[in-house]
């Protein structure tokens, strides 16, 4: 299939989903006045295990070029449509997907997507917050905010705005997020204009709560009260926030320009050195991938994160590449790939039956797809955290086995006696594998679906097994070919299967409403435990959570998430997450598609980046920069517009 150009999603988002000891920079500070009287930790950053990589007083992240020049424009493409700029609206409408760039949080993050820093999975560092203070049991956290922080209109950003935004997300935010936060954060108290205290519920894991509140965007209370805007409603306005970029210009469904704010309050901070280097970030919008790529060849946009195996293998033979004006680069990826694949809606029968999901999944032939449509450039995915420390392998053993044994009443016996579910294999000579077809029909017969005289799979009432595969009109040609081939194979198995193609706005609406049988979508991968796991896989919010496209509801998965959240060492956390990965794979809610193990980028040769890129992000919208002399030369010869 395609690979995502932004595989490394924000850690705060993944954790909260709205989200050496000598160098820690931490000190024990006695504090009085609270119900707790123990010593507290006060630090410039936060890691659950206390092992921050960057010490107090660090000058910049290791992987950036602190002398990177500022200026220039990076122009990228976006497929589909948009009708507004409120990234946080969950009601009707399709917000511009990059519009969240205008906001920032107490902890730093990559404005256009990705965790910060890009060389540590577990660390967070203060941005709006100068420091964070908390007791050993993490029952509360106090953030000391920078008094110089300002919104883009120049007005002060205060603790009152942070508290207002917290409540705004509870009242108008995504329902699954609001429900989760209400149960975990019992009180938010403004101590003074630049100090805010969050109190966490008793009897729950506090593993990611400091990350979660530290990663929540902060908006202007005055702006919302003056304008009457709502967080949950579509809008052509971007919420008043404090980020280094602001909306500059746009034409609906044509283009969007974000401008680096010269008056941004935080240019002096260590976390911002060598970053946010482009004066303008521009997105050109296209209805389909053919027009999109032709525009790149013509120099209409200048940077492309390639997501098509076919195009990477065959499409880059145009003159700008031959002349050296366009540079192609393969960059290693140190993160688990996003879990893209065919996802079943378990709210709907018969997809609520695990054996039916297993049987239908057997119609997908990865080997044929890889050789016939993907130029042998993809690797099969098996795990929700492929290639990471938390990927389950073989039989359960050690601490992972002990965790599963503690939950014996919830664990299927098969899970303890068989190896972790792996993606099935198929012969690559044709799409339908006869061996897998036989296995599929046997599973379906056991679930009450038999092949009738007309060759169709029918239940005891004579009803056909129907499946509608939902796709968007902006789906790439290669992805659509894979989907239509899969659906054709299903019909050969006896399924009444069809493809339903809708425009991108309708696709988004149906995605949020869970109005589909099956589609090609994604789950975010995980390497650490956080409350965001409940939004991705938990039963409580399954029906309303947009992060749980299968609407999975499993008591075992719920219990394993709690086990992971309750761990106090990285070793125990890995064991619990391995068990979770094993249980998720056993559920067969997704038919894992292949992935590309590297990042592919193509760009007009005036962009530059540090020699040693970090393992967790390519960072072209974060710490790359433009060489003005090279751009001028390309412009003079007509290579770029």
Report CA-CA distances (Å) from 408 to 173, 401, 405, 472: 37, 10, 5, 42
Q: pLDDT value at position 288?
A: 86
**pLDDT band, residue 21 (cuts 50/70/90):** very low
CA atoms of 641 and 627, how far apart (whole Å):
16
Each residue's pLDDT tens digit, 495-542: 999 999 999 889 988 998 999 999 999 898 898 888 789 889 999 888
Q: pLDDT value at position 48?
A: 83
Average pLDDT over residues 359-370: 97
Q: pLDDT value at position 155?
A: 98
92 pLDDT above the threshold of 80: no
Q: Which long-range contacts (CB under 8 A, 24 or more apart) does 413-418 make?
A: 414/586, 415/582, 415/583, 415/586
Secondary structure tally for the chain: helices H, strands E: 19, 24
Between these two residues, 108 and 547, which has the higher pLDDT value?
108
The domains of the chain, with CATH numbers, are 11-63+87-227 (3.40.190.10), 245-332+601-636 (3.40.190.10), 339-592 (3.10.105.10)
- Report residue 405 as tokens: 């044994």
Each residue's pLDDT tens digit, 321-344: 999 999 999 999 888 888 899 999
In the chain, what percentage of residues exceed pLDDT 70? 94
- Report residue 222 as tokens: 């005055």
- Average pLDDT over the chain reads 91
Q: pLDDT value at position 369?
A: 95
Q: pLDDT value at position 38?
A: 63
Average pLDDT over residues 304-313: 92
Which run of H or of E encompasses 497? strand 496-502
Q: pLDDT value at position 438?
A: 97
Contacts with 15 (C-beta within 8 Å, 6 or more apart), sequence order = 208, 211, 212, 215, 528, 530, 531, 532
**pLDDT band, residue 1 (cuts 50/70/90):** very low
Average pLDDT over residues 98-114: 93
Each residue's pLDDT tens digit, 242-280: 999 999 999 999 999 999 999 999 999 999 999 999 999
- Three-state DSSP at 598 gives strand
**pLDDT band, residue 180 (cuts 50/70/90):** confident
55 pLDDT above the threshold of 90: yes
């Amino acid at each position: 299939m395609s690979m995502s150009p932004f595989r490394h999603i924000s850690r705060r988002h993944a954790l909260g989903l709205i989200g050496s000891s000598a160098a820690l920079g931490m000190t024990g500070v006695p504090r009085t006045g609270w119900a707790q009287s123990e010593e507290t930790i006060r630090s410039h950053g936060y890691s659950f295990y206390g092992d921050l990589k960057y010490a107090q007083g660090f000058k910049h992240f290791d992987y950036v070029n602190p002398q990177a020049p500022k200026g220039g424009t990076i122009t990228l493409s976006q497929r589909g449509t948009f009708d507004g700029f409120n990234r946080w609206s969950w009601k009707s409408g399709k917000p511009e997907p990059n519009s969240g760039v205008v906001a920032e949080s107490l902890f730093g993050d990559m404005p256009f997507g990705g965790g910060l820093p890009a060389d540590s999975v577990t660390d967070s560092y203060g941005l709006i917050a100068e420091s964070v203070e908390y007791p050993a049991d993490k029952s509360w956290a106090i953030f000391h905010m920078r008094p110089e922080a300002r919104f883009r209109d120049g007005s002060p950003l205060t603790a009152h705005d942070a508290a207002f935004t917290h409540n705004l997300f509870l009242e108008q935010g995504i329902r699954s997020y609001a429900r989760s936060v209400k149960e975990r954060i019992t009180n938010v108290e403004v101590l003074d204009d630049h100090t805010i205290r969050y109190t966490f519920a008793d009897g729950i894991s506090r593993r990611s709560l400091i990350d979660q509140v530290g990663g929540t965007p902060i908006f202007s209370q005055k702006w919302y009260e003056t304008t009457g805007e709502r967080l949950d409603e579509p809008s052509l306005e971007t919420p008043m926030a404090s980020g280094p970029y602001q909306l500059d210009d746009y034409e609906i469904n044509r283009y969007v320009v974000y401008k680096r704010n010269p008056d941004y309050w935080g240019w002096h901070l260590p976390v911002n050195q060598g970053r946010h280097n482009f004066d303008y970030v521009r997105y050109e919008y296209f209805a389909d991938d053919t027009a999109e790529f032709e525009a790149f060849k013509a120099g209409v946009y200048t940077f492309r994160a390639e997501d098509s195996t076919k195009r990477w293998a065959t499409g880059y033979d145009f003159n700008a590449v031959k002349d050296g004006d366009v540079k192609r680069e393969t960059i290693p990826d140190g993160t688990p790939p996003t879990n893209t694949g065919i996802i079943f809606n378990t709210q709907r029968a018969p997809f609520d039956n695990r054996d039916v999901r297993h049987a239908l999944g057997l119609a997908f032939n990865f080997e044929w797809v890889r050789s016939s449509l993907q130029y042998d450039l993809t690797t099969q995915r098996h795990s929700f955290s492929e290639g990471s420390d938390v990927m389950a392998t073989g039989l359960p053993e050690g601490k992972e086995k002990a965790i599963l044994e503690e939950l014996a009443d919830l664990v299927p016996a098969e899970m303890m006696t068989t190896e972790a579910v792996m993606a099935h294999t198929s012969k690559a000579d044709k799409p339908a594998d006869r061996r897998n077809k036989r296995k599929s029909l046997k599973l379906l017969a056991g679930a009450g679906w038999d092949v009738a005289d007309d060759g169709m799979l029918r239940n005891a009432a004579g009803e056909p097994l129907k499946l509608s595969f939902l796709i968007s009109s902006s789906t790439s040609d290669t992805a659509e070919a894979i989907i239509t081939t899969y659906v054709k194979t299903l019909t050969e198995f006896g399924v009444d299967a069809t493809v339903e193609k809708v425009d991108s706005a309708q696709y988004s609406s149906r995605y949020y409403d869970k109005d589909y049988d099956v589609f090609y979508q994604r789950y975010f991968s995980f390497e650490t435990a956080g409350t965001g796991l409940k939004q991705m896989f938990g039963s409580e919010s399954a029906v309303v959570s947009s992060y749980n496209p299968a609407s999975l509801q499993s008591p075992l998965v719920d219990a394993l998430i709690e086990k992971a959240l309750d761990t106090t060492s990285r070793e125990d956390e890995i064991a619990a997450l391995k068990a979770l990965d094993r249980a998720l794979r056993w559920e067969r809610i997704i038919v894992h598609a292949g992935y590309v193990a590297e990042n592919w980028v193509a760009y007009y040769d005036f962009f530059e980046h540090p020699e040693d890129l970090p393992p967790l992000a390519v960072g072209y919208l974060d710490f790359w920069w433009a060489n003005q002399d090279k751009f001028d030369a390309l412009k003079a010869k007509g290579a770029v517009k």
